[in-house]
Structure formats: C-alpha cells, structure tokens
Amino acid sequence: MKVLIVYAHPEPRSFNSAMKELAISLLKGQGHEVKISDLYEMNFKASLGRNDFLGLTNSDHVNYVTELKSAYEKQKFTDDIGKEQEKLLWADFIILQYPLWWFSVPAILKGWFDRVLATGFAWDFGRMYDTGLLAGKKAMLSVTTGGLQAIYAPDTPHGWDINQVLYPVNHGVLYFCGIQPTPPFVAYAVFQVGDEVRKQYLQEYKQRLLTLDTATPISYNRLSDCDENFKLKSVK
Ligand SMILES: Cc1cc2nc3c(=O)[nH]c(=O)nc-3n(C[C@H](O)[C@H](O)[C@H](O)COP(=O)(O)OP(=O)(O)OC[C@H]3O[C@@H](n4cnc5c(N)ncnc54)[C@H](O)[C@@H]3O)c2cc1C
C-alpha cells in the first residue's frame, strides 16, 4: 500500500513522535511505501485565507467554498496546498497521528483539513460520504490522550466515549470526503501511565499496523442509500 502519515505534534521527543517513527519503520519493513507530512516541521500554515489563492474569482467578497473549487480546477493554489493534495491522491491509506487537544485536533491539523480538502478536490455538492471525491482510500486516527480510558464514557464527566469524541474527524472530515475510516488506535493518558504501559501501547500499535491493509472500515450511512431529502430509503 501507499501510506501517507499526517503528523501533528511540535515535539520530536513526544510519544506521538515515537508512534510516528514506529509506523514509518514498520510499514516500510512490510514493503509499504510511506510518505510523511510533518506539519510542524513543514511550518504548515494553519489558517485558510485569501492569500492561499493565486488569483481570486471575486476579490470583493471571497466565498471560500467556491474559491476553493475554482482554485483546484484552475490550479491556482499556493504550492504547499498543491503538494499535500498530490500526496493525498497518491495514498491508499492515510494515518492521522496527533494528540487529542480540546476534544479535537491541534490547530495545525485543522488547518490542513481547511486548506487541503478543497471543494472539487475532496468533496463537492452531491459528492459526499460514500460518493466523496476521495472514495477508495482508507484511514486510521492514531491518537494520544491526557485523560484515562475510564473517563471516556457516557456516565462520566466527559459524557462521551472516545468514538463520539473522534466522530467529527472520522465522519465529518474523512468519511465526508469519501475516505473510509478504520477503527482508531488510542493511547490513553500517555504521560500518566508509566513507561511499562507506554511500551505496551507501542507493542499494541505495532500489531495494529501489521493488519492495516485488512482493517474493516467503520460502518456509516451512505448518501447513495438516501432519498432526495437525505433520508435513508430503507427506514421510511
Ligand atoms: C492544548 C491542549 C489541549 C488538550 N486537550 C485534551 C483533551 O481534550 N482531552 C485529553 O484527554 N487530553 C487533552 N490534552 C492532553 C494531551 O492529549 C496529552 O498531553 C497528549 O496526548 C500527550 O501526548 P504527547 O505525545 O504530547 O506525550 P508526551 O508528554 O510527549 O509524552 C508522554 C511520555 O511518553 C514518553 N515517551 C516518549 N517516547 C517514548 C517511547 N518511545 N517509549 C516510552 N515512552 C516514551 C515521554 O518521555 C513522556 O514521559 C490536551 C493538551 C493540550 C496541550
């Protein structure tokens, strides 16, 4: 497989870095091709704005959805965006490696979503979910948390299990664009658990990586199973 690892952590000695390095060496050792987008190292710009376009269709009032589509069609993106889009087109499988920050992704990764997953490139009107423009690719979130596993449950102060926390990325970003997410790998409370447990996490992650190409995607509703009002035809 061709695997793209999008990595969002600023610290080279972090546990996220250890997970990223493990994935690179293990996947290459298995014969997979691997590319990496190390967003902090690239100093990837996190905010979408008018200077992302080499020319605008309407500079009086920038409509970002239409401007993104026009820029993709006319190849009028800045170079950093174009290079990330090329990597995504190349990849069969995408790993997003990041620490959970505010129940979400680090801003630099959110910026990668905002700027790279353009209208016309990753999705379009009527081309979402199973019909998204990046259909055929699979992905996995590889995430670390500060919170213990036990607190990610409906009957705790957090109130959500980890799959609910990760739903906006798995479903609202990846699957929206047609990419099929496989179950996430989560290393909980990495700075609390101690070295033995962290080593165990790396062993478990290794096992997960070994079966990446046969991982079954998470099952979500399909746009192509819905009527014109977005209701599933089968549950009418
Ligand atoms: C802005 C912000 C928001 C946050 N929001 C949330 C939130 O909403 N929910 C939540 O649960 N948490 C939250 N956190 C906590 C965050 O998720 C954790 O700090 C993060 O996941 C820890 O991962 P790390 O890679 O930064 O770990 P690090 O702190 O870098 O590393 C943890 C430990 O692993 C050790 N280590 C590194 N490499 C190895 C190795 N190869 N083998 C063994 N040990 C190793 C390090 O030395 C260190 O002791 C937040 C933190 C921040 C800064």
pLDDT in tens, 121-175: 999 999 999 999 999 999 999 999 999 999 999 999 999 999 999 999 999 999 9
pLDDT digits (tens, 9 = 90+) for 27-69: 999 999 999 999 999 999 999 999 999 999 999 999 999 999 9
Backbone angles phi, psi at 143, to 5 degrees: -125, 145
CA distance 20 to 16: 6
- In this structure, the residue with its CA closest to atom 51 of ligand 1 is 101
Q: What is the arithmetic mean of pLDDT over 7-21?
A: 98
Q: How confident is the model at residue 234 (pLDDT cuts 50, 70, 90)?
A: confident
* Residue to substitute in 13, 14, 105 for testing ligand 1 pocket (most ligand atoms within 8 angstroms of CB): 14
What's the confidence (pLDDT) of residue 107? 98
Question: Are 94 and 6 spatial neighbours (Cβ–Cβ below 8 Å)?
Answer: yes
**Is 236 a residue whose pLDDT tops 70?**
no
- In this structure, the residue with its CA closest to atom 32 of ligand 1 is 191
Neighbours of 153 (CB within 10 A): 14
DSSP E strand boundaries for the chain: 2-7, 33-38, 93-99, 138-144, 180-181, 185-187
Backbone angles phi, psi at 172, to 5 degrees: -75, -20
What's the confidence (pLDDT) of residue 176? 98
CATH number assigned to the domain covering 2-235: 3.40.50.360
Ligand 1 site residues (CB inside 6 A) read: 9, 11, 14-16, 18, 99-103, 144-147, 190-191, 195, 198-199
pLDDT digits (tens, 9 = 90+) for 181-216: 999 999 999 999 999 999 999 999 999 999 999 999
- As annotated, the active-site residues are 146, 152, 158
Output the CA 187–ligand 1 centroid distance in Å: 9
CA distance 160 to 120: 33
- In this structure, the residue with its CA closest to atom 28 of ligand 1 is 14
| Domain locations along the chain | 2-235
Q: Which atom of ligand 1 is nearest to the CA of 14?
A: 30
| Residue among 214, 224, 130 at smallest CA distance from 175 | 130
- Residue 208 DSSP one-character state: H
Output the CA 188–ligand 1 centroid distance in Å: 9
Q: Which atom of ligand 1 is nearest to the CA of 106?
A: 1
**What is the pTM for the complete model shown?**
0.97
Output the CA 235–ligand 1 centroid distance in Å: 43
Output the CA 185–ligand 1 centroid distance in Å: 15
